[in-house]
Amino acid sequence: MRETTDPGSVGSGEVAPAVHIVPVRVLATVWGVLLVLTVTTVLAAGVDLGNLNLGVAMLIATVKATLVLLFFMHLRYDRPILAIVFVTALLFVALFVSIALLDSNAYAHQLIPGYGPALPK
């Protein structure tokens, strides 16, 4: 059964947008997975992985965010332009943060006592 709205249910002279209605089954599954991933990220934080802890936490958060974007915000079923607009914003934020970090790390040894050895010239 195609899950779309019936154009005949609206007033004459107007074309109803034929939208994809996400099945409850899909929404409920995504909801369950999100809760499981929340528990996972809390448990993973209890395990000492050293420097990997941040990476694992961010990876799980990214998976959760992707599920919300694709299914709850129905990017999976929409035109690609919407996803392109959003991902572009994310890429620019990534660029912004990484350049700020590069700059900060380059000068940190001069400004912060005990930060670490300077990069060799």
Give the residue, chosen from 48, 110, 117, 119, that forms a contact with other proteins under the rule CB under 8 A: 48
The answer to whether residue 65 forms part of the interface with other proteins (CB under 8 A) is yes
- Report the residue from 1, 25, 85, 121 that binds other proteins according to the rule CB under 8 A: 85
Asked whether 21 and 51 are in contact (CB, 8 A), the reply is: no
Q: Which residues pair with 4 in a beta bridge?
A: 20
List, as one string, the DSSP characters of 91-121.
HHHHHHHHHHHHHHHHHHHHHSTTS-PPPP-
Contacting residues for 31 by C-beta, under 8 A, at least 6 apart: none
The smaller minimum CB distance to other proteins, of residues 99 and 121, is found at 99
* Residue 20: strand, helix, or coil: strand
- CA atoms lying within 13 Å on the CB side of residue 48: 0
**What binding mask, one character per residue, do residues 9-28 give for other proteins by CB under 8 A, x or -?**
xxxxxxxxxxx-xx-x--xx
Does residue 110 interact with other proteins by CB under 8 A? no
**By the criterion CB under 8 A, which residues form the site for other proteins?**
5-6, 9-19, 21-22, 24, 27-28, 30-31, 34-35, 38-39, 41-42, 45, 48-50, 53-54, 57-58, 60-61, 64-65, 68-69, 71-73, 78-79, 81-82, 85-86, 88-90, 92-93, 96-97, 100-101, 104-105, 108, 112-113, 115
